[in-house]
Amino acid sequence: MKRIPHSVIDTVYVIVGILFCGFALKSFLVPNNYFDGGVTGISLLISETYHIPIAYVIVIANIPFIVMGARQVNLAFALKTLAAVIGLGLCLLYMPEQHVTTDHLLICIFGGVFMGIGVGLSIRGGCALDGIEVLALYTGKRVSFTISEIILGINIIIFLIAGIQLGLPTALYSILTYYAASRTCHFVIEGLEEYTGVTIISAESEIIKERLVMELGRGITVYKGERGFLKQSFDISQPVDIIFTVVTRMEVHKLKNLVHGIDHKAFIFTSTIKEAAGGVLKRRVTASLIFLRMAASAKITSFIKSRLLPIPCPYPSYKQMPRQL
């Protein structure tokens, strides 16, 4: 089967993301005067205060950050972001405004969820519908705060202004909207199953290696090390194979049970991995893939389903595997 070019997949991500953001704004946030964080929140605040159509405000408000993105990231990112923001503006201009519900809790939760899906999909497509991350990246190089702390500080200022201008209840509901959007965006970008690195140190490393490969279908990396060095016998140590493997968060418990079933004294520690590619990995199920399966064409859906299948281990025996993947 001929693979679909990455540029086509990125374009689909961005278009679907624009539609989700437009739906969240026109059906939940704008009709009920609720806000989100970042540049979108600033645009909503300006639109509500000065009665300027949100479609124009959100494009104009993002332009300084797009220029900043050209300097901080690259020109291709800035041009793609500009096209996405203009697309969002057109979507807001022509999409009819409708009141889906009057329940405050449903408005802030689902408005945030749909907004988070849209922003997350656009990021996976290689652009940003909200320029606040670019500002945080620019500021983070000049101050000692992390990007997350800078974004939090900017959003606190936005919600304080919203509380003064429109009242405390609106600001509190808007904070809930922002939280729902940020968590949903995280799931769309990072996936529902995060990768976890697992390091295993055991005297029964040969058996553990074989069962990890043959039973769990995991790829492994083996480091040569030494174990021992106890306080009572510091000079005594033995060589040991230190096993490292990558699994999804859902598989950690199963892996621990397997290892402890072989050696209950085995030392195991885990670490979160933000990104992994290549080797013998099971592809994570990401929220963006789920939404694209609902929104894309049949051909794209077929392609995504094929990408969701586990990648088979090419090594019939662990002894044939290279020491380093």
The continuous run of DSSP H or E covering 191 comes out as none
Q: What are phi and psi of 176, to 5 degrees?
A: -65, -40
Beta 267-273 vs 195-201: how paired, if at all?
antiparallel
Burial class of 244 by CB neighbour count within 10 A (0 to 12, 13 to 18, 19+): middle
Instruction: Point out the least confidently predicted range of 56-60, 69-73, 171-175.
Output: 69-73
Q: How far apart are CA 21 and CA 88, in angstroms?
A: 8
Name the residue ranges covered by the structural domains of the chain: 6-190, 195-281+316-320
Rounded mean pLDDT of 59-64?
93
Q: What tokens were used for 179?
A: 């939280």
How far, in whole angstroms, is CA 214 from its chain's centroid? 31
310 vs 325: CA distance, rounded Å:
17
pLDDT over 90 (residue 25): yes
Q: What tokens were used for 121? A: 């999909």
User: Burial, 11: exposed, middle or buried (Cβ in 10 Å; 0-12, 13-18, 19+)?
Assistant: middle
Q: Per-residue pLDDT for 316 more than 50?
A: no
| Statement: 195-281+316-320 belongs to CATH 3.30.70.120 | yes
Kindly state the average pLDDT of the residues 170-190. 89
- The pLDDT tens digits for 136-159 are 666 666 777 766 777 888 888 989
Share of the chain above pLDDT 90, in %: 37
Diameter over CA atoms, the chain: 77
Q: Among residues 307, 250, 322, 245, which one has the least CA distance to residue 276?
A: 245
Question: 226-255, pLDDT tens digit by residue?
Answer: 887 777 877 777 888 999 999 887 788 899
The strand pairing partners of 248, in sequence order, are: 195
DSSP state of 255: H
3-state class of 249 per DSSP?
Answer: helix
pLDDT value of position 256: 92
Query: What's the average model confidence in pLDDT over 294-321?
Result: 41
Residue 46 CB contacts under 8 Å (≥ 6 apart), including other chains? 52, 57, 61
User: Which residue carries 């429109």 as its tokens?
Assistant: 166
**Sign of the torsion formed by the C-alpha atoms of 272, 275, 280 and 283:** positive
